[in-house]
Amino acid sequence: MSFNTVFKEYGDVINFLKNHDNPACFTVNYRPKEDDYELWIGNQPYENYEKMIEELETELVKADIDKAGYITQIELLEEQAEKYQRLRNKILEQTIQKNHEALKKLADS
């Protein structure tokens, strides 16, 4: 279990920690862009959570790569299907042309 919150003043962080049961682990970070203090409290060292986050991020990256691979395969299949369709149309046109020529010869004879 973990808890994360933000305080505007450093004194508020100290007062909160004084009034809180002795936390197993905690970290305080000053965030200059936000001009506030982020407090994290947990029952395990923060590095355990960082490791969990890294593992989840790695899994997400792998999932994105797999997804991209499937998309690439689908695109290749679609491209191949288009080539077959063009070839089919060409064969049909040639067959129609040959049949038309054969019918013309029959009509002329």
Domain shared by 104 and 84, yes or no: yes
Domain that holds residue 7: 1-44
User: Using 50, 70 and 90 to split pLDDT, how confident is the model at 19?
Assistant: confident
Within the chain, where are the H helices? 10-19, 46-108
Domain shared by 28 and 62, yes or no: no
To the question of pTM greater than 0.75 for the whole model, the response is: no
Domain shared by 56 and 106, yes or no: yes
Domain shared by 40 and 51, yes or no: no
User: Using 50, 70 and 90 to split pLDDT, how confident is the model at 45?
Assistant: low
Domain shared by 39 and 74, yes or no: no
* Alpha-carbon dihedral 10, 14, 20, 25, rounded to 10 degrees: 80
Quick: pLDDT tens for 47-94: 667 777 888 888 888 887 777 777 788 888 888 888 888 888 888 888
